[in-house]
Amino acid sequence: MAGKDVSTMKISSKVWKNGKFIDWDDARIHVMSHVVNYGSSVFEGIRCYNTTKGSAVFRLPEHMQRLVNSAKIYRMDPPFGRDEFCSASTELIRQSGLEACYIRPVIFRGLNEEKPAFGVNPFPNPIDAYIAAWEWGKYLGEEALESGIEVCVSSWTRISSNTMPTMAKAGANYMNSQLIKMEALLGGFSEGIALDDRGYVSEGSGENIFLINNGKLITPPLGAAILPGITRDSVIKIAREMGIDVIETTIQRAALYLADELFFTGTAAEITPIRSVDRITVGEGKRGPITKALQDEFFKIIMAERPAPGGANWLTFVHDTDEKKTAAA
């Protein structure tokens, strides 16, 4: 079934809900659902690419495992596991008619309509799971992948792991992200970089960050109140395969200004160079050579033009014919 057009964006006409496919327009919740009032949701962002061998989802099992992990942290127990979420996603893409798309699985606490409960206590409310898909271009702009973006250091501190579990990709966490993003946009920047509660570099509003100095790739450690990004992990593996030293360590704010190269990573952002921070030019003020080399290898992998590091399987092909072509390659 073909996707529907909403303005210029193609959206899958079907949404997966609790094991069944429903129409997009029927994917509704009650205004008094727990998630609306208290932000009790966890979600994922996943990309399906139109590769040289057919439509394929990038690191689908890893994303769905993180979804399941996020739900576990928040004591949500949906009646579906990682593999079921993976199968539902590929079937949704097949039904959507989209060759490339962004996939959004979300698990949240709804409303117990038989015994409504409106308090903070989440336990009386049912847990629902949905998956939607739509065609989404480059998050920070097509030109950003080459020319880079201008960012600022936010005045908002990133949530600490003992305040909100930063290992979980939870909807409530993104209220903090929204403050960072809005401040950046209103200041004339494309994105903001948050510091953690100790004053060290954490991440962007929805991206991990990497710094390059003297040929070494440096990124904040997972203990720095950051989401364990799957694109982040991919870049680290690609860099090590290329012989680039990768250092996970704390980064001072001033180090951003003095970096040779700087870039964001994320499912939406992919690998996006940063050309200035707080109006201070980073390196040559454009994408640097190591960033470009990492981009080149990353996009070769997601387009099925070369294997992932160590021969890992990072692509889940949507159609059987695509899988057969991959097996024969």
Residues annotated as part of the active site: 169
DSSP assignment of 152-199 equals: EE-SSPPPPTTTS-TTS-BTTHHHHHHHHHHHHHHTT-SEEEEE-TTS
CA–CA distance, 277 with 184 (Å, rounded to integer): 11
Query: Is residue 70 within 8 Å of residue 127, measured between CB atoms?
Result: no
| The pair of three-digit structure tokens given for residue 184, joined into one six-digit string | 């950046």
Closest-CA residue to 327 (of 304, 309, 301): 304
CA distances from 49 to 71, 130, 228, 299 (A): 26, 21, 22, 10
Closest-CA residue to 205 (of 182, 224, 230): 182
Closest-CA residue to 127 (of 76, 92, 197): 76
Query: Is residue 285 within 8 Å of residue 260, measured between CB atoms?
Result: no
How many whole angstroms from its chain centre is CA 259? 24
| The pair of three-digit structure tokens given for residue 109, joined into one six-digit string | 């606490």
Strand partners, 248: 219
64-99 burial code (b ≥16 CB/10 A, e <16) = bbbbbebbeebebebebebeebbebbbebbebbebe
CA–CA distance, 329 with 326 (Å, rounded to integer): 5
